[in-house]
Structure 1
Amino acid sequence: MADDDRSPEEEFQELIRQLFGGGADGIDPEQLSRLTGMGIDPAMMQTIMQNLQGAFAGNGEISWDLAQRQALHIANQDGLGVTAGQRTDLDQAFALATLWLSEATTISELATAPRALTRGGWVEATLPVWQELAEPVATSIADALTDALRDQAPDDMQSLVQGAGRLMRTVGGSLFATQLGQVVGRLSLEVVSGGDVGIPLLPGGEAVILPQNFADFGRDLEIPEDQLALYIATRELAHARLFRHARWLRLHVISQITEFARGIHVDTEALEELASRFDPSEPEELRSALESGALLPARSEAQTVALTKLENLLATIEGWVDVVTAQATSRLPSAERIAEAVRRRRAVGGPAEQALGSLVGLELRPRRMREAAAMWRAVTDAVGVSARDALWDYPDLMPTSEDIDDPSALVARLQARARGEEPVRDALDDALEQLLARERGDSAPQPDRDASSPDGDASSPDGEERPESGGPEDQRPV
């Protein structure tokens, strides 16, 4: 068939074949002009083709460089750095905060000196963690775009769709990366310190304050700036010390976030409905849908469980930081006012943090921080600072959500340990052990009686010694 005999639809399909067949560089502008019969603007199509060619040149992976460039563009838009005066003031605040904090916790000082950080520096330091947290969502969006393209394409174009899979993954992933960059860039205008968001964005043991945002935070509080700097520096050091001491804690938090994120799947019906009216020359609607969370369906039951676990973990961390900071800054006349301002700010979250929650489907606000702080205060009053901080030595010692609900059992265990005692097994423990044994169907082999024991005490299926009638009671480790 001669070119002049082709319909506009056939012309368009030929352009797509050239694009996916590697011959898009030689598209004839005159060929584009024939698309007017389909109501398509040839100039707009030329721009789209060029953008698609660039995306198709990729290898199907998400270009996170786009996120970094977008975030740095926003973070550095005012062109301001950290002045010598700001560094001096913060260095002095950190020095005094270090002394005060050493009186409030037995967790050791940092190995590296805390520092002032620009907004751009914060973006570069934290973006690897944002990428790790957002990658499951970006991959889900890219997969959904590919599936939607395959489902919508007619049978005679399925072969083209196979070649377009890599392209759609690149386009969808890159669009998400750009949106993530915008959100992280705006977040860099809000965060005051390294631990401000509540998750370990910086390497363990690193403490920073962003002077530009610190000034914005204190502007309307009517609190002396030196007191505000001391409080924020103390809180930041407490957060950094904790993650340096409990080296397992950072991985624990990140793994719980990624566990939640892996369960996120894009709402394909919403995506297809949006695609049906999508105008490539006006991408704002798709960007808004991504950032608003409109493409993310309601949480699954498994995600709700994972989110609850994460909220309890973050509340436990923030509650400890809150209590330790309050003890260390008790000399500050405005400490209570500053603490309430910080708690209120963390509970509400700024616009960028809310946008981040919509983008990745996760809100990083510890809803139970007040309850967790009350638990840590009860523990401190009962057994002191050293025993309290020892709960961070190993993961299995850390308080649970049940301890947040009712700290009395935790306090009783710690007090017994302080007296050199261990809680003994009671009837409830024995009944629970028997129930678990029945659930197992008594399939676990029963160990031989301990020949080394002079009494010949029986052992349970899990290897714990059990007291015989009239014998000494077994002791349960805390």
Structure 2
Amino acid sequence: MTNTSVQVVDWRAAAQIAGRVANPGPVGTRDELESLVAGLREAAARAVPEVLDVTGMRPAPESLATSDTLSQVSVVDRPGWALANTQVMDLMTRPLAEGLSASERSQLAAPLPSLLGAAQVGAVLAALSSRVLGQFDPYAAGPDALGRLLLVAPNVLAAERSLRVRRRDFRLWVCLHEQTHALQFAAAPWLPAHLSERTGRLLTDMAARSRDLTAGRWSERAGAVGRGLVNAVHGTDGPFVAGFLTPDQRRVFDDVTAVMSLLEGHADVAMDAVGPKVVPTVRQIRRRFEQRRDGAGRGAFDGLLRRFLGMESKLAQYRDGAAFVRAVEKSVGRDGFNAVWTSPDTLPTASEIAEPAAWVARVHG
């Protein structure tokens, strides 16, 4: 899976551990599960023209996506989701692995430290695997293929049951969000490399600082770096990540967080903007889903876990990003907002997410 002889974390082992530890989720009859998979694939296809219409965006000419197909669609279980994410992390940590010294490589190659790092990352992935309905992955498919849209079937089924929503509507609503992500990366083909470079540089700097400030073995810190990558990929800000950051690194981290807020907020706005003509129960779904996001009915342990994983920060990204999108569109219209996808220079900064008028002034004058 990797061209380097040593990995920062044994990603394959991490995926296996996550798959074994994760609760498999709700069960259903064979007919119900087959209908769920077919329904999710149908919803993913139905979402494409609606997303194109509501955003006013189109894939860039150099993108492999088209107005008919924005992504490869994979319906997965929780272990499948964990495996897909370790593949992304493997790609994103290759430069870091290649920069390790011979001594550090030998430490990572030792069986016990390697398993320890994988166990730490696997535990985080196992916890997250029950909370993700869908995810667009622009990295794992490679340069000669479309990005991959992952729909986590047991989580969609669990959400439908707990929220008591119309299934066909809910599946389309979820896919509207994820296909918006696919369109974002198709409209801005430079975006995956931009995010990868920023995240990779941050991880490399974090690892170097960790070597400088502690006398601990590199192998004992690999799990923390891996967990940091899990949070970076998913736009969360776990407390152990914040503890690593210098002021310069914090600025890079804030830049990445601002982009994640933009992506998530824009997708949230799009999935609701289609309106009841497309998703008849969209308002009911949004109301009940927001209660779910806010933790209604969850126990104290679940709240503690959410804070540990940085999920509270993730929820703020959706809301802050959506507020930014709505404010910009109110000021300069949908086409004016879509200037955000022009280049890295037109992406909002962290301060501009909080003050949309500043972005409008900088980009539109």
Partner of 1:114: 73
Partner of 2:163: 221
Q: CA RMSD in A?
A: 4.4
Query: Secondary structure, in 3 states, of the residue corresponding to 2:133?
Result: coil
The one of 363, 375, 386 equivalent to 2:335 is: 386
Q: Which letter does structure 2 place at the counterpart of 1:379?
A: V
Q: Does 1:71 align with 2:4?
A: no
The one of 42, 48, 51 equivalent to 1:92 is: 42
Q: Does 1:172 align with 2:113?
A: yes
211-220 or 181-190: which moved more? Answer: 181-190
- Percent of residue pairs identical: 23
User: Could you list the per-position Cα deviations for residues 131-187 of structure 1 after superposition, in whole angstroms to 9, with x for gaps in the alignment?
Assistant: 3456789999x98xx79xxxxxxxxxxxxxxxxx83565243442123323332443
**Contact conserved, 2:266 with 2:325, CA < 8 A, in 1?**
yes
Taking structure 1 as the reference length, the TM-score comes to 0.54
**Contact conserved, 1:96 with 1:230, CA < 8 A, in 2?**
yes
Q: Does 1:102 align with 2:44?
A: no
Q: Does 1:407 align with 2:353?
A: no
Structure ID, larger Rg: 1
Alignment of 1:75-474 (within 5 A): 83-108=33-58, 109=67, 110-112=69-71, 114-132=73-91, 166=106, 169-170=109-110, 171-195=112-136, 203=141, 205-262=147-204, 263-264=206-207, 265=210, 268=214, 298-331=244-277, 332-338=282-288, 340-341=290-291, 344=294, 365=314, 367-411=316-360, 423=365
Distance 1:115 1:107, change over 3 A: farther
1:235: how far off? 0.7
User: Could you list the per-position Cα deviations for residues 268-306 of structure 1 after superposition, in whole angstroms to 9, with x for gaps in the alignment?
Assistant: 46x59xx9xxxxxxxxxxx99x98988995533233222
**Contact conserved, 1:205 with 1:241, CA < 8 A, in 2?**
no
**Contact conserved, 1:71 with 1:123, CA < 8 A, in 2?**
yes
In structure 2, how many angstroms separate the alpha carbons of the residues matched to 1:352 and 1:213?
18
- Relative CO higher for 1 or 2, CA cutoff 8 Å, sep ≥ 6? 2
Partner of 2:231: none
**Contact conserved, 2:293 with 2:315, CA < 8 A, in 1?**
no
In structure 1, how many angstroms separate the alpha carbons of the residues matched to 2:242 and 2:258?
23
Distance 1:246 1:353, change over 3 A: farther
**Contact conserved, 2:264 with 2:318, CA < 8 A, in 1?**
yes
User: Could you list the per-position Cα deviations for residues 168-207 of structure 1 after superposition, in whole angstroms to 9, with x for gaps in the alignment?
Assistant: 6524344212332333244333321114xxx856546432
**Contact conserved, 2:25 with 2:130, CA < 8 A, in 1?**
no
Structure 1 residue runs without a partner (length 5+): 1-58, 148-164, 276-286, 418-422, 424-478
Number of residue equivalences: 316
Q: Which letter does structure 1 place at the counterpart of 2:177?
A: R
1:87: how far off? 1.9
More helix by share: 2
In structure 2, how many angstroms separate the alpha carbons of the residues matched to 1:351 and 1:200?
31
Q: Which letter does structure 2 place at the counterpart of 1:102?
A: L
In structure 2, how many angstroms separate the alpha carbons of the residues matched to 1:248 and 1:391?
12
1:384: how far off? 2.9
Distance 1:333 1:134, change over 3 A: same
Distance 1:404 1:178, change over 3 A: closer
Distance 1:409 1:60, change over 3 A: closer
Query: Secondary structure, in 3 states, of the residue corresponding to 1:194?
Result: strand
Query: Secondary structure, in 3 states, of the residue corresponding to 2:162?
Result: coil
User: Could you list the per-position Cα deviations for residues 335-369 of structure 1 after superposition, in whole angstroms to 9, with x for gaps in the alignment?
Assistant: 43155247547xx9988776666xxxx99726454
